[in-house]
Every structure is written in structure tokens, then in C-alpha cells.
Chains A and B, each alone.
Chain A
């Protein structure tokens, strides 16, 4: 773990060399301004304009994740990057191919030497360097964080305080503070998209009780991460709240917390939306250490 390794990881993160045809980098679908997701795209794009099956997840506070991907298929942050590198819908390459390309690059040979005292590029080193960058993408300076550190002082308006109260009563059992996720998988009552037929967690575990369950995503920086849900079906937070108020589809695996609809007045809904904006962390979104390095 070193500054050099972090900088190597940053270069790799922003370099389309990771994709088969040098067109897609990690940052293609994980943009800093959107808390490292891809705004205005329901589903991620890959090489040759291929459209993937899921909405890219925002990247932050990853060290506290107990699994990765919407279906939790990846068990360790160091192996996360293998998925987009190898997926035909994303970078369409393989770690083996990437290692060969990096070994042929004078620039990367030098960067690997600086990080590992050995210029030989290997799969392990490549994954470790990417991890070193992504694990540092930590967001903890939102207005909400400052309010909490201040032990509930006057940093929040009355409306924001009210929104936090509504949030804690209605949302926090899954979107648990301070990470705003409980790292678990839930079926939140979405109609199955007939084109995607995505059953989420069940595709990993082969257990029917996991049907339609997806990772509970963090809500940090939620203002800048639309569209929402695993398939990006909702463009605004207002649509998300209306789903919980009126759109829940009941099925065997529905989260028990959602058995009764979210019951909020118009004013309460506005207060909740105002609170959710306090989770925006501008210091994170504009931190130069995480930006495009070239």
C-alpha cells in the first residue's frame, strides 16, 4: 500500500487500455461527478456500443462492502475489476490480455516498478493497484456527516431534521446509517423487466428465496446518481418514493419491511427529499486526487 500504487491504480482506472478495443475505461461508467456512476444511462454501455444488463453502481466507501455487484457475486474488492474487464457487454477483454498489453507498455512497466520494485506486470498486481485506488474513494464529508459530528446542532434546517426523522422511521432498516446500506439483498417490489428477466441474487445462489433480491445500495450522494434501481428504471427520487408509496408488487420474496406501503403526506415527502440532498458530499465529488490523471 503506497502513494505510488494509488497513482498506478488511478491511471489504470482512467485508461481504456483495459478494454478489448481501447475504448472503455472504468471511468466510462464510473464518473467522479456522479459519485462514480453513470448518470442518465439506465444500463451501462460497453465496447462497440453494446448495452449491458444493469445500471452501474456508484463507487464509494467500498472497504465496508461485504460483497460487490448488484447480485453480490463478487466476494472481495480485489477481484471486483475482473467482472467488467471480462464481461462481453463491458470491456470484452480478459485479465490475461490486459496484463500482456501493460507488459508491452514502457509507461506501465515504469509505474509497476515504482509500486512493486519489479516491472513485471501480473494479474495480481493489476488488481491490487486498482483496489488501492477504488478503496480510497471514501465519502464522509456531506452536510449530514457534519450535522452528526456536531451532535445535532443547527447545521440542519427544521425541514432537514424532519426529513431525517422520516428517513429513520421509514427507510433506515435497509439503508442503515452511517453507510446508508445494510449490505444485504432485498426484493423491493419492482415489476420484472420482461426484456432483462433479471432475478438478481438468485442467479448467484441458485436459491429460490433469493429471487428478485438485489444489493441494497448506499444512498450517499444519491442526488447525483440517477437513474435509480438495478435497471435504472426511475429517473428521479420522486419516482422512487412513489414506487414505495404506490408501486410495490407483492411476491413471496418481498422484503418484509415493504409489506405495507410507504405512507407519507406531500409535505413529508418533500422533507424526505430535502434530507436526501444532505447526503451529497461535494468534497468527494470534486476531490482532485480522484480525478482524471492524464
Chain B
């Protein structure tokens, strides 16, 4: 982990209680878990509704990062879109280049892809439609995908598939976070057990279109995160 200690040391030296971080990187670290277990493609997990599951895919978007200063000033971080894949460790850590920020400043970001990026054509990088996080028969990004298998699913190859998206009201599936910045990194813990808390996989194992089901699952997924 790369910390920039110099500004902290200077602040401590000067005895300021108001810590100021000069232009530096804010490290974002994502830790996917199933309760307290790490998630492996080869392992089985049991949900609180007693379904045995194995994960084959979990991907989601974190986008549109903004630094909100104490004085209300908002600095949008251009092109800050990240596609996180829990099975690709290189996507679980990234750093944001922030201008000078103080410990009372806040970081805003979105879980999913917002309306503007859904309605302005083909984008690049993490948002390139060739990443497979885009519907084709109906325009719109898939904000997150959770796929796996469970003997409870009476589907082809016992698969469960949740492709959640939809940018239009009343079922806009975008969710957002606003977090106080008080250190040089931000940890996002994703507890996937919570995603299955209300789902009985024998009954609900496929949500692949926008709508009220997708909307509800977007909230459930959002609540599976703890940020500190």
C-alpha cells in the first residue's frame, strides 16, 4: 500500500488538528466476501435462506467520482469509471488522483452507470460496450452482474443470473455513495451474503431486464456494501 506520509507528518509536526492532504492519490480498495469468508470460484457457500451456491461471475461499475469540498465546491473527476470484477484482483484496487483535499471533504460516487452515460452513445474504456456490460436489444448498461450455480435452481445447468440495470424512472437502478474522507484510502467491503438474504433461488434465479425486480435488487446489492 502506498501512503503519502509527508503531508501527514508535516501536519502532525505543526500540531494542526485540521489535516490537509495535498494533491495525491486516494486509494480505493474493494474486498468481496461472503460473510467473513473470501470468495473463490471453487468454493461453495450457503445463503441465509439455505441455498448452496457457487459464484461464476460478479462484476459491477463504480463511476462518476466527485470530490465535494467542505465549502461546497465540487470537483468532478473526469473519466472515473471502473469495472470491478471480484475474480480479477487487479480491478479490486485503484487510485484516484485528487486535487488537494481536507479531512472534512467528501467523496461522491455511483454504483452503476448514470443516465447521461446511458444516453450519449458509445463510450470507451471501462464503459466500452465490448466489456459485455451492455444490453443490445435495448440500450442501457448492466450496472452489475452476479452469476453462479445452485442445486436449488431448476434452470439450465442450475444457473442463477442477475443482470441488473435500467436508467429510466421509475426503475432507475443507479445508487450512490457519499463518504467522508478522513484517510488516504477508502475501503469498500462487499458482503455478497446480503445479496441473497431475501432471495430464495428456487423461486427467483433470473433477473435480466430493467423493471421493479431489478430496482429492488439494486437496493439489496447497494446495502451489501460497507464503506469506511
Contacts and interface: CB of A to CB of B under 8 A. Distances in A.
Given A76-B120, A78-B122, A79-B122, A127 B129 contact: yes
Most buried by A among B124, B132, B137: B137
A261 B78 CA distance: 56
B128 interface: yes
A73 B129 contact: no
Contacts of A82: 129, 134, 136
A240 B137 CA distance: 28
A223 B138 CA distance: 30
A124 interface: yes
Given A74-B138, A82-B136, 4 more contacts: A75-B118, A75-B139, A76-B122, A122-B124
Contacts of B4: none
Contacts of B134: 79, 82, 95
A204 B171 CA distance: 13
Contacts of B72: none
Interface in B104-129: 118-124, 128-129
A34 B202 CA distance: 50
Contacts of B129: 79, 82, 95, 123-124, 127
B122 A96 contact: no
A76 B132 contact: no
Contact of B139 (A74, A86, A131, A206): A74
A77 interface: yes
A98 B140 CA distance: 20
A60 to B, nearest CB: 20
B121 A78 contact: yes
Interface string B153-189: 0000000000000000000000000000000000000
Contacts of A73: 137-139
B137 A79 contact: no
A50 B47 CA distance: 41
What is the interface residue range for chain B against chain A? 10 to 19
A124 B131 CA distance: 10
Contact of B121 (A79, A87, A95): A79
12 contacts: A73-B137, A73-B138, A74-B139, A75-B118, A78-B122, A82-B129, A83-B137, A85-B136, A96-B132, A122-B124, A122-B130, A123-B131
Contacts of B130: 94-96, 98-99, 122-124, 126
A69 B138 CA distance: 9
A204 B138 CA distance: 7
A254 interface: no
Contact of A206 (B119, B132, B211): B211
Given A79-B129, A95-B130, A87 B137 contact: yes
A163 B104 CA distance: 72
Given A76-B119, A76-B139, A206-B211, A124 B124 contact: yes
Contacts of A206: 211
A250 to B, nearest CB: 29
A164 interface: no
Contacts of B137: 69, 73, 83, 86-87
A85 B139 CA distance: 14
A253 B80 CA distance: 44
Nearest to B168: A205
A124 B122 contact: yes
B116 to A, nearest CB: 12
Contacts of A123: 122, 128-131
A128 interface: yes
B225 to A, nearest CB: 28
A128 B118 CA distance: 16
Contacts of A69: 137
B114 to A, nearest CB: 14
A79 B128 contact: no
B119 A75 contact: yes
A101 B123 CA distance: 20
5 closest Cβ pairs, A-B complex: A123-B130, A78-B121, A86-B136, A75-B139, A127-B122
Contacts of A127: 121-122, 129
A147 to B, nearest CB: 36
Interface string A51-88: 00000000000000000010001111111001101110
Nearest to B140: A75
B107 to A, nearest CB: 27
Contacts of B138: 73-74, 204
A83 B138 CA distance: 8
B142 to A, nearest CB: 13
